[in-house]
Chain A
Amino acid sequence: MNRNDPDTLDLLAAEFVLGTLGGAARRRFDRARQADPFVGRRVRAWEVRLAGLTFRLEPVTPSPAVWPSIERRIGAAPARRRHGLMAAVAAVAAAAALGLGWFLWQESREPPPQAQALFADEAGRSLWRVELAADGRTVEVSTIGAIEVPEQRSRELWALPPEAAPVSLGLMPASGRIRLALDERQQAAIGLAPNVAVSDEPYGGSPTGAPTGAVLHVAAIARS
């Protein structure tokens, strides 16, 4: 790291903090920052300068399950909590009964998903395809049609295990496809669930860990 070129060094520090410094250059710079306090101070100065940008984002309260997991991982006994979520389940059941409909999706690919579901709107237009990977540890969500999500709202995917509260699997994309990694609780929930649902939530997803907005779509899970 060339201390004789402070402007370049400072820009590298700025791009390290920004995240635009990538690959081998980032690893080299990271080593230099840890080895050389002069470089470390430059990085710190940029962390301070740019930290305010984090406060421009709307805060998102974590799901209630996060804190007990942290407690477990640091060796503390987690507190037990219960949620009364049956109202949400009832809403979903009602929506399903209203015939929002479900569709199966068959497609041969390697390795084939162990289960899949297709969300459609009331007019029968396909919206999202949801596939549970063969190992049951990830879900892939692909958009099919044009999906409009109002600003400051998100669409959240839920597994609906029988006689249990809905379990969030993540946020739905408005276009393209995403892969959601499932933790053990999510894997268990989707393993048992006959249906999945999509709810309307504040931007970033439900703040409570349970559906808070309208259940927009329900789809049956077809298992291979």
Chain B
Amino acid sequence: MAQFAGMDTEPEVSRLLVACARQDRNAFQRLYELTSPRLLASLIRLLSNRAAAEDALQDVYVQVWRRAAQFSSDRGSAWVWLIAIARYRAFDLRRRERRPATDGADAIESIAADEEPHESRMALGRGATAALDHCLAALQEQQRRCILLSYQNGMSHAEVAGRLGEPLGSVKSWIRRGLTALRRCLES
């Protein structure tokens, strides 16, 4: 299996995005090759459908090309910027189509909230993701499951509650407490 880019490619991804702002099409193609498998994985989960995810992926990279100049002035993390564009695009599409997160997501249900990190994360940079892993592991199980289900599958509170068979109020409070604990842990 090919080695997929992790967050440790941040310097190259950032350099490529800055080159895209100068309308460098070769850099854009390289950026696409390097980053699209990660964004597509995220879009497939959020949209529950590969064809729709690949359509959304096109929209995302067209936006990346057009908005690359905004990135170079922002000077944030290039990966975070790309992931945010992809996720918000998926949320928009989902709201427009009123597509529930459970629709068609069943095929991936068994791995919907991976407790165990995937092997591909071996390729990740240590720092940021190691800290996140550590802090996720420190959460209560229900908090962790709710946060992973909603982040990775784009589920609403009600959808998470339905999936786990738990009361809506509990799910809301697990997510809030989990997020608060996560932030505290990441900042410590």
A interface list, Cβ under 8 A from B? 7, 10-11, 14-15, 17-20, 22, 44, 47-63, 65-67, 69-70, 73-74, 76, 149, 151-152, 154-156, 168-178, 180-183, 186, 203-205
Contacts and interface: CB of A to CB of B under 8 A. Distances in A.
Interface string B167-188: 0000000011001101100100
A56 B114 contact: yes
6 contacts: A52-B7, A57-B114, A59-B37, A59-B41, A74-B62, A183-B55
Given A18-B151, A51-B77, A183-B55, A59 B120 contact: yes
B111 to A, nearest CB: 6
* Chain A interface SS verdict (over half): mixed
Nearest to B40: A60
A-B CB proximity, top 4 nearest: A178-B104, A59-B37, A52-B132, A59-B4
A22 B182 CA distance: 21
A169 B179 CA distance: 38
Contacts of A18: 147, 150-151, 175, 179
B158 to A, nearest CB: 9
A151 B152 contact: no
B108 A61 contact: no
Interface residues of B, number: 76
B49 interface: yes
Interface in B30-87: 32, 36-38, 40-42, 44-46, 48-52, 54-55, 57-58, 61-62, 65-66, 76-77, 79-80, 83-84, 87
Contact of B45 (A48, A57, A70): A57
Given A19-B150, A62-B36, 6 more contacts: A11-B176, A22-B156, A55-B120, A56-B148, A70-B62, A171-B104
Given A74-B62, A205-B50, A55 B45 contact: no
A67 B31 CA distance: 11
